[in-house]
Structure 1
Amino acid sequence: MRATTVPRLGRATVPPAAPTLARPPAETGIVHLGLGNFHRAHQAVHTAAALARTDGPWGILGVAGRSTGVVRAMREQDLRYAVVEISPGRTRVTVPAVHTGALVAAEQPDAVLDALAAPGTAVITLTVTEHGYTFSPRTHGLDLDAPAVRADLRGDAPPRTTIGRIVRGLQRRCRAHARPVTVLSCDNLVGNGELTRRLVREFAEALPAAERDELVPWLESSVAFPGSMVDRIVPATTDAEREAVAAHLGVRDAVPVPAEPFSMWVMEDRFAAGRPRWELAGALFTDDVEPYELLKLRLLNGTHSLIAYLGALDGRDTIPDAIARPFIAEAARSVLHNEYLPSLTVPADIDLDDYVGRLFDRWANSALGHRTRQVGSDGSVKLRQRVPEPALLQLRAGRIPHHLALTVAAYLCCVAPLPGFSPGPHATAMVDPARDTLAAIAGRPRTSSGAPFVEAVLDSGLLGDGLPEYPAFAARVAELIDVIVRFGPAAAAADALGATAPPPAETAARPGI
């Protein structure tokens, strides 16, 4: 089939069997900030599946921050796009058809604030990645020194930060006496609901007195901030997904989303003005999200980071290519069982053997091809959520967490290589907001030991405040950096494995995993 003869995806061209919904909902009940691939393959899919089983005013207005590409394409395609679920044995293509509109906040700021304040809006969801919350890594409070935050507080221009947009939208709701609303974070942050509540409150309290005194009491009485855990591997879009849509549906889609078949969503059921019946689409509601959150952030995300950094340093473009390397698979098993698992309580309804087995199957999904550079990006924000507490647990017990030290060493070799060391193209392609700062530290004069470099990195607050109190951890990270630089990542992984003691009996992994 010639590309020029393939019609574009749209209301009139999508095959009848493909959409989850025959047509988008008539009403918008959800405004979503962050119109990236993850939202379109996760919350949107769960919402469409729920609405396929029960009606409700739960259409989604998607809001991109600055990027116009997805918004423009969705508008040209009548708000349709395809989700391409990929596994080695099967490709499944569906069209959620749950969005009622798409905006770009940088271009239509008033329309976004109007949508946040609209009477029909009952839920505000967001997937803006960890660094989209503009909080201080040291205090975990709002970064009031950030120029964009200061500008948003002045209010003499449309808000540029996510928290600024949310608060200004809530301010309009307050003044219009609109009904209560829920703000639901769907990002990989520890305690994401409480963190979002605190940042919103701190922004409101930093406003001029008249605005603050009006808004803060209303926030306390009318806005809910439930916690959530989201889990689905969603790589960047490539031409392979566009070709899959053309082959399966006979249409052109400019913005399809690749995703693994697995999807999980856990939430607190604290919604101020109703919600879709997401439980009909597989979501789990609980009074205690934290155990699920830590399970995912550490076992999946923390281990995923180590796989990505070792893989990139080993010249592996994708996570499946990386996990296929025996030394990386063994390092992943060791950090998961010996260092992450002892730091958490597994929820009673999770079969640990099955969960861990699925993780390795998911990482090995060669058809999906999740890239090491994507997983390894933004490590300065991600690792702060994953490494410190498990590492401190081991250090306080008198043990060196060798594979967590390897994670930090491999990360630093990828994004802040010492002079004279080239980490390779996949590591060089990783994006990190701290890259320039770390590169400046790496470029300082150093002795034959790499310890001063690592100590300076830890003292900078990269991984919080606790780890600088343990010089042995910095020394171990420095040793592993030197091994990577001199002999490569496989030698460093062997060094870490050789030094790792078995986990305590009460937290040891079950046999067979």
Structure 2
Amino acid sequence: MTEHPLSRRNVSAAALIHRRVPEGTGIVHLGLGNFHRAHQAVYTALAMEREPGPWGILGVASRSSAVADAMTAQDLLYSVVEISPGGSRVRVPGSHTGTLVAEHDPESVVHAIADPATKIVTITVTEHGYTVSPETGSLDLDSDAVRRDLAEASTPRTTIGQIARALALRASTHGTPITILSCDNLLANGRQTERLVREFVGTFRAPLRDEVLTWMDASVAFPNSMVDRIVPSSSDRYNETALTHLGVRDTIAVPAEPFTMWVMEEKFAAGRPAWEHGGALFTDDVEPYELMKVRLLNGTHSLIAYLGALDGCATIPESVARPFVEDAARRILCDEYLPTVTVPEAVDTDDYIRQLFSRWSNTALGHRTSQVGSDGSVKLAQRIPIPALEHLGRGDVPQFLALTVAAYLACIAPLPGFDPGPHARSMTDPARPRLAGMADNAASTTEFVRSVFVDGGLFPSVLAAHTEFVSRIADFVDIIVRHGPAVAAGEASAPVPDSGALTLQSRATI
């Protein structure tokens, strides 16, 4: 039988969420990855199906043209394969109206954002895509990419540069209002994005600088938002599932768990799709949802990934099935993250925690530890420092937060002679070369960990002053190297040793 490619002509109406071609392009999305295609694009399709409008999405890929090219070949369609142990469901959003690749055509990205028809810019470029200095939380003016964007106005390559240059063009031409909506795991992501854009604009010469900043005050909104859905990497098996359900070939099917959540501030400068029809929640205070997600879900997820990878687990379900990993996950979630979070009144904490462990145990989804553990140098900067400082300020050393950092370092920058295993080696991280050099050159584990906090560019330097926290991380690194992650997790559960007392493994010379 001939396999026909996915297109509007041959996909069933039952599978296509939004059956009509969008009326226009009102959204530019930066970051055409799996998460966007399984999350915002689905909500937008559901919104347009109930309330039609000019809310089609121009999807902008950062560097690779593979997804953009495949979408073009498939009438800008793809399928979302929702996977659970009970079975699969396949749906086709149909919310995109075009694609661009920023690396190939940065000028067109600027003009697309500046187009008066564009009312919203949504962003999923991961924490790493915001070019933030981990030390100051401000725009990283020492970054080569940021410096280039500041020098070359017409072809910005960074996300913040693209937005800032487009807003300047908008302000100097038609001045139509616009909303910039970050959908990444940054605390107060709207306010952070606004601050970074303003810092970039602040480098412009007067009078342009003042004109753009004044226009932004009145015409640009930066709502905070929280997004939540587990979306693994694509593979041929999901394409085969799509083929079985749809009867046509999709080369870029996106896997996702059935659970999905989106919470936003109701603060839009030029209107929005009726995302509530997809289940989105609008509130005046997103922060409790953000903290709940970034710490309880994401922070715990990181520990599960690093411990599991070090124990030879390829997937998150395999990892959390290890009793020592599940125990460590529950301890860090309940004892160390939860006390630093005010859970929203609408959320039942016990139900939420049960739901998290059910999601992490979704064996049909098979979320890989290497994917969750990647880019930890940026992710952990959002998840570790503030909770750690809260505990340390009360005189407590947060054992499992320390274990998270130690397991991360063991995966990304293993001490000489230690093999963290294939899943840890598969993790990608922009800080890996720098941290590996520190590990190779340090005279002891303690010196290595201290150098990470002082010179590593991962965490604010104020944490380095808490020597008991740094020492405990070094203890755990040594235990992982000599005895494995299960013993290290057991040590984290044990009573905290007295100052100066020997742990299971005395501080070793590398």
TM-score (norm 2): 0.95
- Measured in 1, the distance between the counterparts of 2:144 and 2:12 equals 48
Aligned partner (choices 460, 464, 471) of residue 464 of structure 1: 460
1:18 paired residue number: 15
- Measured in 1, the distance between the counterparts of 2:41 and 2:370 equals 25
- Measured in 2, the distance between the counterparts of 1:115 and 1:157 equals 13
Tell me how far 1:466 sits from its aligned partner: 2.5
- Measured in 2, the distance between the counterparts of 1:412 and 1:148 equals 26
Aligned partner (choices 151, 157, 160) of residue 163 of structure 1: 160
Task: Extract unaligned runs of 5+ from structure 1.
Answer: 502-513
Q: 8 Å contact 1:206–1:212 — kept in the other structure?
A: yes
- Measured in 1, the distance between the counterparts of 2:294 and 2:462 equals 19
Whichever residue aligns with residue 255 of structure 2, its letter is P
1:69 paired residue number: 66
Task: Extract unaligned runs of 5+ from structure 2.
Answer: 498-510
Which range moves more in the overlay, 205-214 or 90-99? 205-214
- Is 1:265 paired with 2:262? yes
- Is 1:102 paired with 2:99? yes
- Measured in 2, the distance between the counterparts of 1:98 and 1:69 equals 19
Tell me how far 1:143 sits from its aligned partner: 1.1
Q: 8 Å contact 2:336–2:387 — kept in the other structure?
A: yes
- Measured in 1, the distance between the counterparts of 2:94 and 2:495 equals 52
Tell me how far 1:366 sits from its aligned partner: 0.3
1:292 paired residue number: 289
Tell me how far 1:279 sits from its aligned partner: 1.3
2:233 paired residue number: 236
1:499 paired residue number: 495
Q: 8 Å contact 1:33–1:128 — kept in the other structure?
A: yes
1:453 paired residue number: 448
Q: 8 Å contact 1:309–1:411 — kept in the other structure?
A: yes
- Measured in 2, the distance between the counterparts of 1:500 and 1:18 equals 55
- Is 1:321 paired with 2:314? no
- Measured in 1, the distance between the counterparts of 2:495 and 2:235 equals 41
Aligned partner (choices 483, 487, 490) of residue 479 of structure 2: 483
Which range moves more in the overlay, 390-399 or 26-35? 390-399
Whichever residue aligns with residue 98 of structure 2, its letter is G
1:382 paired residue number: 379
Tell me how far 1:209 sits from its aligned partner: 2.2
1:510 paired residue number: none
Q: 8 Å contact 1:138–1:464 — kept in the other structure?
A: yes
- Measured in 1, the distance between the counterparts of 2:404 and 2:278 equals 35
1:32 paired residue number: 29
- Is 1:361 paired with 2:350? no
Q: 8 Å contact 1:27–1:100 — kept in the other structure?
A: yes
Superposed CA deviations along residues 220-265 of structure 1, whole A, max 9, x for unmatched, are: 1111101000000000001110010011101111111000000000
Partner SS for 2:488: helix
The verdict on how the C-alpha distance between 1:421 and 1:170 changes in structure 2, with shifts beyond 3 A counting, is same
Whichever residue aligns with residue 487 of structure 1, its letter is H
Partner SS for 1:100: strand
1:508 paired residue number: none
Q: 8 Å contact 1:242–1:254 — kept in the other structure?
A: yes
Q: 8 Å contact 2:30–2:121 — kept in the other structure?
A: yes
Whichever residue aligns with residue 481 of structure 2, its letter is V
- Measured in 1, the distance between the counterparts of 2:346 and 2:496 equals 30
Q: 8 Å contact 2:265–2:285 — kept in the other structure?
A: yes
- Measured in 1, the distance between the counterparts of 2:352 and 2:361 equals 14
Tell me how far 1:6 sits from its aligned partner: 1.2
Partner SS for 1:265: strand
Superposed CA deviations along residues 457-511 of structure 1, whole A, max 9, x for unmatched, are: 111242223311210111111111111101111111111112379xxxxxxxxxx
Superposed CA deviations along residues 60-97 of structure 1, whole A, max 9, x for unmatched, are: 11111111000000000000000000000020000000
Q: Percent identity?
A: 60
- Measured in 2, the distance between the counterparts of 1:143 and 1:390 equals 24
- Is 1:148 paired with 2:132? no
Whichever residue aligns with residue 231 of structure 2, its letter is V
The verdict on how the C-alpha distance between 1:421 and 1:15 changes in structure 2, with shifts beyond 3 A counting, is same
TM-score (norm 1): 0.95
Partner SS for 2:307: helix
2:75 paired residue number: 78
Whichever residue aligns with residue 72 of structure 1, its letter is D
Which range moves more in the overlay, 303-312 or 200-209? 200-209
Whichever residue aligns with residue 464 of structure 1, its letter is P
Aligned length: 496
Superposed CA deviations along residues 171-200 of structure 1, whole A, max 9, x for unmatched, are: 121111231000000000011101100111
Q: 8 Å contact 1:29–1:121 — kept in the other structure?
A: yes
Superposed CA deviations along residues 101-148 of structure 1, whole A, max 9, x for unmatched, are: 111122222322221111111111110110101111111111112122
Whichever residue aligns with residue 379 of structure 1, its letter is G
Alignment RMSD (CA, Å): 1.2
Whichever residue aligns with residue 36 of structure 1, its letter is G
Superposed CA deviations along residues 248-307 of structure 1, whole A, max 9, x for unmatched, are: 101111111000000000111110010111112111111111110000000000000000
Q: How does 1:338-357 map to 2 (within 5 A)?
A: 338-357=335-354
2:506 paired residue number: none
2:502 paired residue number: none
Tell me how far 1:156 sits from its aligned partner: 5.3
Aligned partner (choices 200, 217, 226) of residue 220 of structure 1: 217
Q: 8 Å contact 1:402–1:499 — kept in the other structure?
A: no
Q: 8 Å contact 2:480–2:487 — kept in the other structure?
A: yes
- Measured in 2, the distance between the counterparts of 1:334 and 1:52 equals 43
Partner SS for 2:207: helix
- Is 1:274 paired with 2:271? yes
Superposed CA deviations along residues 351-407 of structure 1, whole A, max 9, x for unmatched, are: 111100000000000000000000000001000100111111111111111111110
- Measured in 2, the distance between the counterparts of 1:190 and 1:42 equals 19
- Measured in 1, the distance between the counterparts of 2:355 and 2:496 equals 24
Tell me how far 1:207 sits from its aligned partner: 1.4
Whichever residue aligns with residue 306 of structure 1, its letter is L
